[in-house]
Amino acid sequence: MAGLSRGSARALLAALLASTLLALLVSPARGRGGRDHGDWDEASRLPPLPPREDAARVARFVTHVSDWGALATISTLEAVRGRPFADVLSLSDGPPGAGSGVPYFYLSPLQLSVSNLQENPYATLTMTLAQTNFCKKHGFDPQSPLCVHIMLSGTVTKVNETEMDIAKHSLFIRHPEMKTWPSSHNWFFAKLNITNIWVLDYFGGPKIVTPEEYYNVTVHWKTSCGDHLVQLLHCIAEDTQAQRGEVIWSKSHSK
């Protein structure tokens, strides 16, 4: 009887452990965007997506709300020299509500992508709304065109002295942890000089946007909310447009 009881206890324990492990494996991850960032979950909803008919505005929207992207370069590693090489990089196009459309990076010569760029500055950056709650909320798979992602191609270069403060402010306000990264890594500010843009936001293939069309779009956040991105998104989501403001996407000037 004692042996039977011990066997039953083991079986019960195994069942409990199995159910707990299964829950851990299938539960959605709740990662953070960085120190002092808020989670991109249901509580921090995005402002409304611009009309899909206006691909330039959609592209600027995705760039502005993205905290990171995948940058593809041409590898200089001997094992894969000359082949595509992608890496995830933090980025920012400006403070909340004041995006310039220029993706800025904080890079170190120790990064593999930077070694690639030093030999060949051409790169393609992909950003997707899958990093926000937009696709999950609507039940869109990250690969679905409805989940909206954009591809920006061009060259990555160091910013000059006149643009240094803009790049620094743009990145540090969105990624405050960067301020604490070790100076021994020789960090520097860089940007993507955009030459080609593709927007995939609906079925039928990507839409082509010119850099001129892209940069002619501006975003004005008419709000009394704070200047932290997640605080701003919370505020816009929780208050009515009449009480706190509205998000206005417009062409900065007619062509």
Q: Give pLDDT tens digits for 51-105.
A: 999 999 999 999 999 999 999 999 999 999 999 999 999 999 999 888 999 999 9
- 10 against 81, higher pLDDT: 81
Has residue 7 been placed in a domain?
no
Q: Stretch 207-219: mean pLDDT, rounded?
A: 93
Cα gap 228→67, rounded to integer Å: 13
Has residue 183 been placed in a domain?
yes
What is the per-residue pLDDT for 96?
Answer: 87
Domain harbouring 102, CATH code: 2.30.110.10
Query: Of 39-48, 56-65, 214-223, 224-233, where does mean pLDDT reach its minimum?
Result: 224-233
Has residue 177 been placed in a domain?
yes
Q: Residue 28: enclosing H or E segment and its boundaries? A: none
User: Among residues 220, 228, 222, 226, which one has the least CA distance to residue 244?
Assistant: 222
- 82 against 42, higher pLDDT: 82
- 143 against 239, higher pLDDT: 143
Q: Give pLDDT tens digits for 168-198.
A: 999 999 999 999 999 999 999 999 999 999 9
pLDDT of 5 strictly over 50: yes
Confidence of residue 231 (pLDDT cuts 50, 70, 90): very low
Amino acid at 211: P
Is the Cα torsion angle 149, 155, 158, 161 positive or negative in sign? negative
Q: How many domains does the chain have?
A: 1
What is the per-residue pLDDT for 221?
Answer: 54
Has residue 75 been placed in a domain?
yes
Q: Stretch 205-212: mean pLDDT, rounded?
A: 97
Has residue 247 been placed in a domain?
no
Contact at 8 Å (CB) between 56 and 209? yes
Contact at 8 Å (CB) between 88 and 69? yes
Query: In sequence order, which ranges of the chain are alpha helices (DSSP H)?
Result: 2-26, 55-65, 112-119, 134-138, 161-174, 211-215, 229-238, 241-244
What is the per-residue pLDDT for 126?
Answer: 98
The C-alpha angle with vertex 84 and arms to 106 and 129, in degrees rounded to 5, equals 60
Cα distances from 78 to residues 65, 81, 211, in angstroms, run 36, 5, 34
Cα gap 246→96, rounded to integer Å: 14
Cα gap 26→41, rounded to integer Å: 17
Full domain range(s) for residue 118: 55-217
Mention every residue, 6+ apart, whose C-beta is less than 8 A from residue 38: 32, 44, 230, 231, 234
Long-range contacts formed by 229-233: CB under 8 A, 24+ apart: 229/96, 229/173, 229/174, 230/37, 230/38, 230/44, 231/38, 232/96, 232/97, 233/44, 233/45, 233/46, 233/47
Has residue 44 been placed in a domain?
no
What is the per-residue pLDDT for 47?
Answer: 77
Q: How many helices (DSSP H) and strands (DSSP E) are in the chain?
A: 8, 9
Cα distances from 245 to residues 51, 182, 222, 225, 237, in angstroms, run 19, 40, 5, 9, 11
Confidence of residue 218 (pLDDT cuts 50, 70, 90): confident
pLDDT of 24 strictly over 60: no
Cα distances from 118 to residues 75, 92, 121, 186, in angstroms, run 11, 21, 6, 15
pLDDT of 8 strictly over 70: no
What is the per-residue pLDDT for 243?
Answer: 31
**196, two tokens:** 């080609």
Q: Give pLDDT tens digits for 102-154.
A: 999 999 999 999 999 999 999 999 999 999 999 999 999 999 999 999 999 99
What is the per-residue pLDDT for 246?
Answer: 39
Has residue 157 been placed in a domain?
yes
Has residue 202 been placed in a domain?
yes
Backbone angles phi, psi at 190, to 5 degrees: -140, 170
- 246 against 106, higher pLDDT: 106
**Is the whole model's pTM more than 0.85, yes or no?**
no
What is the per-residue pLDDT for 110?
Answer: 96
What is the per-residue pLDDT for 17?
Answer: 46
